[in-house]
Every structure is written in structure tokens, then in C-alpha cells.
Structure 1
Amino acid sequence: MTRYDNTNRGVMFVNDRKQDGDRKPDRTGTLNVDGVEYFIDGWIKKAQNGTSFLSLSVKRKDKQPGGNHERPGQHSRTAAPQHTSRDDYSDDSDVPF
């Protein structure tokens, strides 16, 4: 069985722990760039002209204190889905990227 390749892919979810006025990110997720895993955070902001945009921050997982690959309080449902095979997808329409 072939393992699904997550290289150069990522996923972000709505941060359901954010409260009104909270400085926590609006979106959180994970990102893989050339085999290196990152945490990714996003804040929905408005430009001066009124256009909405997503401001991003990335942090290497292996550079976190203690080499922790999971954020404090993070649940497995917020991590990027790990597929074991390309056959897990019936077609490409359900791929989130």
C-alpha cells in the first residue's frame, strides 16, 4: 500500500477556541514544505481599502520548546489529515487544496 504524500501541502481550520476580542488566530493548521512540518496560523484582517485578507504566521514544529510536534491544548482533529493511500480519495473533488 502506498502512503499518501503530504509534501508541499497544508490544511487550515477555523479556530473554535477563539473568543470575541481574543488575539488568537482565526485559523490554525499545519503545513509541509519540502518535508519540513510547520504550524500555520491565520488572522482575517481588512486592508485600508476594505479588502479582506488572511495574514499568516508559520513556525517550524521541530523548533518548538522540547521539539514538541503538538501545540499545547491541540486536539488531533485540528491536525492535518494523514491519509495512508491515494485510494482513500474516491475523486479529487473532496481534496481540500
Structure 2
Amino acid sequence: MSVQDRIRETVTSNPVVLFMKGTPTFPQCGFSSTAAHILKLCGVSKYASVNVLEDDEIRQGIKEYANWPTIPQLYIKGEFVGGCDIIKEMYQSGELQKLLEGIAA
């Protein structure tokens, strides 16, 4: 299975996926920490997280998958939402909470 197939499978089989540096309980960069914290503020406590520091193929592949150069990357219902700045803006405007409505916390 190619790295792109592995990423696609992860993104499509989980309602919320955060590709990040580290884990939600131990983020290893400020942007990943912010993204995980915002999900928590939105009431999302269970989501798939992928630590890109553990897998170089995923770390590079995710940038190509979404054509987005930075990590973290948030996916909701199989769709790429954005990185830290976009997540933050969407949270502040209430848009992120609407996207997450109906997703089991």
C-alpha cells in the first residue's frame, strides 16, 4: 500500500483526523499543540491523530496529499480543513464548531 493510500484510508475512515508533530497529550510543536487544544475546546476529545515524527513517509506524503506544506493538518469527514492558522480563524468565527457538529466527541 502506498503512503498516499495509507493517508487516504486514515482520512476517510475517521471522522476527525489531525496530522501533527507529537500526540494530543504530548504535542511536540506549538502549532500542533494549538490545533489539538482547539479541538478540545470544540468538545472533540476522541479523534485520530497521526504523529508525523514517527513516520518520514507520512511526514512527506501528507504535504503532497493535501498540497499543503505545513503540519498540523486537520481533516473532517475526509475533507482537508487546513493548518493551524486556518483552524484558529475558523474556531474564532464559529465555523469550525459548525463543521464538527454531530461528530461524536
TM more than 0.5: no
What is the TM-score of this pair, normalised by structure 1?
Answer: 0.31
Higher helix share: 2
Larger Rg belongs to = 1
What is the TM-score of this pair, normalised by structure 2?
Answer: 0.30
Q: Larger relative CO (CA 8 A, sep 6+): 1 or 2?
A: 2
Higher strand share: 1
